[in-house]
Structure 1
Amino acid sequence: MPFTPSRLSLAVLLAFSGAALAQEATTLDSVVVTAPRMEEPLKVVTDPKAPRQPLPAHDGADFLKAIPGFSVIRKGGTDGDPVLRGFSGSRLGILLDGQEIYGGCGGRMDPPTAYVYPDSYDRVTVLKGPQSVLYGAGQSAGVVLFEKDIKRFREPGVKGSGSLTVGSFGRNDQAADVRAGNGQYYVQAGATRADANDYKDGNGKTIHSRYTRWSTNAAIGFTPDDNTRLELSLARSDGEAAYADRTMDGSKFARENIALKFEKRKLSALVDKVEALAYYNYVDHVMDNYSLRTKPAGASYMVSNPDRKTTGARASVTLNAGEMTKVTLGMDTKEDTHRFRSGMSMMSGGLAEASTWNKAWAEDMVFQQRGLFGEATHHLNQDNRVIGGLRVDWHEVQDKRATSTTRNATDKETLSSGFLRYESDFIPGAGTWYAGLGHSERTADFWERGKGNPLAPASSGFLSSAPEKTTQLDVGANYRQGPWSSGLSGFYSKVKDYLLVRWDNGGNPAVTRNVDATVYGGEADLAYQFTQTWKGYGALAYVHGTNDTDGKPLAQQPPLELRMGVNYDNRTWSFGALARMVASQDRYDVGSGNIVTNGKDLGRTGGFTVFSVNAGYRPSKSTLLTAGIDNLFDKAYAEHLSKSGATIPGYLAFSPNTRINEPGRTLWLKAQIALD
């Protein structure tokens, strides 16, 4: 398991090391983040640049799985689908600097988080449940905000950061970010690269899972004063990834993005803030069965090329409606077009590619959404407040598929969402308890509409699915005083017309069904600072889902999970140990599941425990070195939400219901530099 950094890795590290010697540096605060806790009601904020254990893949889903309440639908090394409190797919909003993003693959090879490079962002915020209306329509599970935080330069200067990660199975990541400016203008540029070979599971079996990804981003901004910012940003990324769960791999994950953002604060006693955003996002995805694997004997060459274009805009104003009340009003809109072309049953890869590139794009579906929203916070007194919001969305979806039985059909829906939450501080400055009731309505997405009609599986289900309506109660409390800190959150959700995919359908095509469901559970965390240097912590997450219509468990629900650990940190040296304990899952609905291709329950899974250790050294305020061993005892295990493996020449042959095992013992080392 050699650690072999590339030339680019060394260049990044040496460049920032030299800069650090010349300038006063920013202190790197966190050493290893294992389970970010909820500091505010239903809100988790964490630093994506901080080293983590277990070491995440380069993508957004693996980053999120360290946060209590999150799971991942795994399919090998990368590009899993995130699940929050048992809710997956379009129920969870993913926003990149305020912009909604969607994948192109009809089988969810590229969920939105596949285009997220966590090291490119300064902050990740998770809002749990239907307890906000500010960030889009239909996000019943919650929303994840990947955000950059570029502050105005008071005087001319340069800031930068860089990191290098190397590890087992050829893991080799680099990231760099540079920002320069003065009181009037700033420029920012960043880049990431991530590379890994196939990993081996705890049994020493090689899993088809290698990937290479890169991203670049840049921005230029105008900041004439502390309260004004105008920014133009651009981003490009691409890569390739091998998958253990299917007959094709991803040979292209190209994304192009441009956005214009405006923000003005403190305009008057009434107008606290005005914001506006317009963006263009384009995803071009290619799959094939030969470039990253040996094509099975007798099989033809195949290329599939979906793309997706999303344009959107948002504007809002925040008003001081009184000494105790703040109101945000706004509107958002987006248009989302999915297209497709392919070259199938070809005698060579070249012919498959030529057949694909020579075809004109064919539109599949076109989505349009317009929304109005308002959210207010009213302080009853110093310790008590009420937060509430309402939004209305107008949706229009067109079926453009040439072979669809609903070709040229249009579906129009007017849907509403809202919430009301009460928060009360107790032991001033130490704790808050809360209770909130939220409602969210969601139209069927591209993947759900693309399945068959449950009453006639061979026919299109484009018009057969009713909107999903979620009503959820959220309660909980946070507490921090002295050496103790803790958080407890629980939810009880009734879902009318839950959109459930039935993959095993008696030999018929998969269908999307509406069922009624009940889902409840929650998260708890507890930490105790034994001394100035020693700290212990634990985090628990639980979900219980029932398909009320069929009187059986709701499919694709994660099992009970407990994380416990201890850390030592004297601000120069640090050490830590983590135990992740996952219970068996006896509640399942074989053949039913989510929008990931064949993302279905396979049956019972046994529990497992995985141990990991880490250490860190901070030679200066600006430099941090961390190392770790994940899965210390080389445990062979698979997640309950892991998909079944495919038979790939040269790799372990999977039976139809055998889940893909996770990586075995993994060693890693990360070096970071930050400077002002």
Structure 2
Amino acid sequence: MKLHNFVRTPGATLVLMALASPTLWAQEQHDHGVMNDDAVMVVTAPVTSPLEVTTSLKTPRQPVPASDGSDYLKTIPGFSQIRNGGTNGDPVFRGMFGSRLRILTNNGEMLGACPARMDAPSSYISPESFDLLTLIKGPQTVLWGPGNSAGTLRFDRDTPRFDKPGIQGNASVLAASNDRLDKNADLSLGSEEGYLRLIGNQSRASDYKDGSGARVPSKWDKWNADMALGWTPDKDTLVELTAGRGDGEARYAGRSMDGSQFKRESLGARFEKSSIGEVLDKLEANLYYNYANHIMDNYSLRSPSSGGMSGGGMGMGSMMSMSMPMAMQLDRRTVGGRTQATWLWRDYELRSGADFQLNTHRSKEESGWQKDARFHDYGVFSELTLLATEQSKVTGGLRLDSVKVDNESGSGASERSATLPAGFVRYEHTLSGMPVMLYAGLGYTERFPDYWELFSPTFGPDGASGAFDQLKSEKTTQIDIGAQYSGERFDSWVSAYVGRVNDFILFRYDASNSRVSQADNVNATIMGAEAGVSYRLTDQWKTDASLAWSWGENTDDHQPLPQQPPVEARLGLSYERGDWSTTGLLRLVSSQHRVAINEGNVVGKDFASSDGFAIFSANTAWRVNKNVKLSAGVDNLFDKAYSEHLNLAGNSSFGYSSSQAVNEPGRTYWAKVNLTF
């Protein structure tokens, strides 16, 4: 038998339209697996394990629909974002940043090229180009690559299925304040034997104004085009080929350079065969090729300034004087693949396989392209699930990776290699006669330093030699516990964790010169929790609330870990009747005084404490018929001037001081038309 668990992540619901307070919110939910597409902010997400959140990316969320993957993630409890303007922020989950959170698209990984993560992996993702988002919290899976200590994110596309020849798909147009205009189209043509899926989107916006009316340099213009050609000779077989391209540009108030090119090229192939036999149930395999070609400069989207660096621009963009026109071009090729087999016995399910990834990073010099780094990773994994009783399930997994990195920068070449183990075990129990699920899991993973940690710092741990030779792998041991209750009108859930990170990779910045950084290993303790409740007051009225808290301590220096988001609560009230829905959203964020000044990561650092704030937003939607839905909303209704704690300091070329954080948008109106056919 199968044990099914459904978790409600209360989506951005909320609010008393009569409440004179500000802001917003979103989350996933459980309505017996039925997707409620009429409500703008409600997401119904069937969940396959207590630590796994799955949500439809086609369901709109507030704030104004996301321009990239990181923008979308910040609507999920536990996520925050290092922001530097209007788009292409970097996601942070439970206070953990970078490659501690693996981000996959269609089982492949798209890695950016900028040494300062100006083109973070999430910046190449247009959320509405995908169907499902799956988050696995903590080191509680070994199936999707090494080192995922904070979690694993998967953006996936469904396989179009046809009973007869036809066309299916959807399209949308969004218009919003600050000249925002988004266009999305997703069209599939096919029959029982196969399909052709065409996906395209374009998004652009001008600089926004904050709540005080000040202009924040933040404009962007980006596009993506993808196609998939599939062969489905029967309901259990799939062969698919994919291809895609994209490009864009973005201006950043929080950096000393802008992104004038974000070129993407993607190719992929996958094979799936299900219902093979009584024991061997499924075989799946995929290969992918992703290429990023990135240009950053200080003249395409701004005028070069002699103002120099302010505290907000880390990485390569901060390593040079900004008084003259300058540009850098970098690229990265990533090739990878995986194969997995699933076996089923009476009470057991075993998933085993192998994966690999090769990626090469280069920079363009006067003499041509120069390779500086090449990463090799080969891994094997197995994950076993035992249905111990009618109410209990035990899941465990083991993984082993072989990693090698070639350093080809500078005068001489060198290399490093390591063997990385990982594993976890988790127990889940449903109380007899009660709609309550309890779980506890213990996980361990080792994460090899990524490109940004090995090559971007000025110094390594000893303060002299480079980080490449000195930086150690992170080792994370974490306990995850939680519970969920699913009733007729009331649902609730809580997910908590506590962990020890040995050799946590920490960036330290020179107090007088942000261009100088040192990567170091320290020991750290982390803990936190996310919780949510949802209550259906009547058939039309529903309330939601969530809370997220994360805490980190540098135990070597007895001070806080840097770049930790403050406590955040989200409250919601929604009304649905017939084809109409209305939602109010109140987002409450506390102040953050637990900071480690001049410490952080390759993108951002702690430069000051931050104040708390409350933001109120609202939206309404009308389903005209089964094919057309209209929605409109207002974010930051009371036009509050505020900044997120993790926002970068603004760049001096735009008139910011080194301790002045980039403010968020003021009052923003938006309207959207969705077509389904």
Q: Same fold (TM over 0.5)?
A: yes
Residues 634, 667 of structure 2: 8 Å contact kept: yes
Report Cα offsets for 1:446-493 as digits up to 9, x if no partner. Answer: 111112444553531101011100000000011111111111000001
Partner of 1:17: none
How much does 1:33 deviate? 2.6
Query: CA-to-partner distance for each residue in 1:178-224, whole Å, 9 max, x for gaps?
Result: 11111111110010000000000001000000000100000111111
Which residue number corresponds to residue 47 of structure 1?
A: 56
Aligned to 2:359: 336
* CA pair 28-382 structure 1, distance change in 2 beyond 3 A: closer
Tell me what 1:196 maps to.
205
Alignment of 1:659-670 (within 5 A): 659-670=661-672
Partner SS state of residue 114, structure 1: helix
SS in 1 for 2:185: strand
Structure 1: which amino acid aligns with 2:448? T
In the alignment, does 2:423 pair up with 1:385?
no
**Structure 1 residues 67, 455: CA separation in 2 closer, same or farther (over 3 Å shift)?**
closer
* Offset at residue 123 of structure 1 (A): 0.6
Identify the range of structure 1 (631-640 vs 454-463) with the bigger mean alpha-carbon deviation. Answer: 454-463
Please state if 1:376 is matched with 2:403. Answer: no
Residue aligning to 1:91? 100
Amino acid in the other structure paired with 1:397: V
Cα distance change of structure 1 residues 305 and 382 upon mapping to structure 2, 3 Å threshold = same
What is the Cα deviation at residue 118 of structure 1?
0.3
The answer for the alignment partner of 1:300 in structure 2 is 324
Q: Give the equivalent residue in structure 2 for 1:462.
A: 468
The one-letter code sitting in structure 2 at the alignment partner of 1:364 is: D
CA contact (8 A) 2:461 2:471 kept: no
Deviates further, 27-36 or 76-85? 27-36
Partner of residue 420, structure 1? 425
Deviating more after overlay: 98-107 vs 506-515 = 506-515
2:473 alignment partner AA: P
Deviations 1:580-626 (A, max 9, x none): 00000010000000121xx1001211100000011111111221111
Which letter does structure 1 place at the counterpart of 2:355?
A: D
SS of residue matched to 1:286: strand
Task: Report the residue type matching 1:588 in the other structure.
Answer: V
Deviation at 1:556, TM superposition (A): 0.5
Q: In the TM superposition, what is the alpha-carbon distance from 1:426 to its structure 2 partner?
A: 2.4
Distance 1:100 1:544 in 2: 29
Report the secondary structure of 1:138's partner residue.
Answer: coil
Partner amino acid, structure 1, of 2:282: K
Counterpart for residue 6 of structure 1? none
Number of the residue aligned with 2:448: 443
Whole-Å Cα distance in 1 between the matches of residues 613 and 409 of structure 2? 45
State yes or no: 1:654 paired with 2:656. Answer: yes
The AA in structure 2 aligned to 1:657 is S
Contact 1:51 1:670 in 2 (8 A): no
What are the equivalent positions in structure 2 for 1:234-633 lying under 5 Å apart? 234-296=243-305, 299-320=323-344, 322-342=345-365, 359-402=367-410, 407-426=412-431, 430-450=435-455, 451-454=457-460, 456-504=462-510, 509-596=516-603, 599-633=604-638
CA contact (8 A) 1:27 1:674 kept: no
Query: Which residue does the alignment assign to 1:348?
Result: none
CA contact (8 A) 2:502 2:524 kept: yes
> Is the contact made by 1:27 and 1:621 (CA closer than 8 Å) also made in structure 2?
no
Report the RMSD for the aligned CA atoms in angstroms: 1.7
Unaligned runs of 5+ in 1: 1-25, 343-354
Contact 1:138 1:440 in 2 (8 A): yes
Kept after mapping to 1: 8 A contact 2:43/2:56: no
**Corresponding position of 2:222:** 213
- Which residue of structure 1 lines up, in the alignment, with residue 231 of structure 2? 222
CA contact (8 A) 2:460 2:471 kept: no
Q: 8 Å contact 1:504–1:592 — kept in the other structure?
A: no
| C-alpha displacement of 1:29 | 1.2
Q: CA deviation digits over 1:377-431, x for unaligned, max 9? A: 100012111001000000000111125xxx3111010011110000011255833
> Percent identity of the aligned residues?
42
- Preserved CA contact (<8 Å) 1:439 1:469: yes
- Quote the Cα distance in structure 1 between the aligned partners of 2:78 and 2:63: 16
Q: 1:252 to 1:335 in 2, by over 3 A?
A: same
Q: Distance in 2 between matches of 1:428 and 1:111?
A: 47
- The structural deviation recorded for 1:505 is 5.9
**How far apart in 2 are the matches of 1:164 and 1:426?**
46
Range moving further from structure 2, 138-147 or 616-625: 616-625
Contact persistence 1:199–1:210 (CA under 8 A): yes
Residue equivalent to 2:82: 73
Structure 1, 447-456 or 36-45: larger mean CA deviation: 36-45
Q: Secondary structure at the match of 1:209?
A: coil
2:346 counterpart letter in structure 1: E
C-alpha contact 1:416 1:441 (8 A) present in aligned 2? yes
- What is the CA distance between 1:335 and its match in structure 2? 0.4
Alpha-carbon separation, structure 1, partners of 2:617 and 2:36 = 22
The aligned counterpart of 2:310 is none
- Residues 54-65 of structure 1: matches in 2 within 5 Å? 54-65=63-74
CA contact (8 A) 1:383 1:428 kept: no
Secondary structure in 2 matching 1:499: strand
Distance 2:588 2:185 in 1: 35
**Residues 391, 432 of structure 2: 8 Å contact kept:** no
Unaligned ranges ≥5, structure 2: 1-33, 307-321
CA shift at 1:511, angstroms? Answer: 1.1
> Match for 1:636: what amino acid?
A
| 2:461 and 2:467 in contact (8 A); partners too | no
Per-residue Cα deviation, 1:358-386 (whole angstroms, up to 9, x for no partner): x4110111000000000011000121110
Cα distance in structure 1, aligned partners of 2:433 and 2:98? 39
Cα displacement (A) at 1:37: 7.4
1:78–1:211 contact (8 Å) kept in structure 2: yes
Name the aligned partner's letter for residue 665 of structure 1: R
CA contact (8 A) 1:418 1:438 kept: yes
1:33 maps to 2:41: yes
Tell me, yes or no, if structure 1 residue 636 matches structure 2 residue 664: no
Equivalences for residues 174-193 of structure 1 within 5 A: 174-193=183-202
Amino acid in structure 2 at the alignment position of 1:165: L
CA contact (8 A) 2:648 2:662 kept: yes
Deviation at 1:100, TM superposition (A): 1.3
Deviation at 1:227, TM superposition (A): 0.5
Q: Distance in 1 between matches of 2:96 and 2:305?
A: 35
Matched with 2:317 is: none
When structure 1 is superposed on structure 2, of 407-416 and 658-667 the one drifting more is: 407-416
Does the C-alpha gap of structure 1 residues 252 and 385 become closer, same or farther in structure 2, counting only changes over 3 Å?
same
Q: CA separation in 1, counterparts of 2:247 and 2:432?
A: 50
Task: Name the SS of the counterpart of 1:90 in structure 2.
Answer: helix
State how far apart, in whole Å, the 2-side matches of 1:646 and 1:35 are: 38
Q: Which amino acid in 2 is paired with 1:554?
A: L
Q: What is the Cα deviation at residue 38 of structure 1?
A: 8.5
**What letter is aligned with 1:329?**
S
User: Cα 1:150–1:455, aligned 2, differ >3 Å: closer, same or farther?
Assistant: closer
Counterparts of 1:144 and 1:53, CA distance in 2: 20
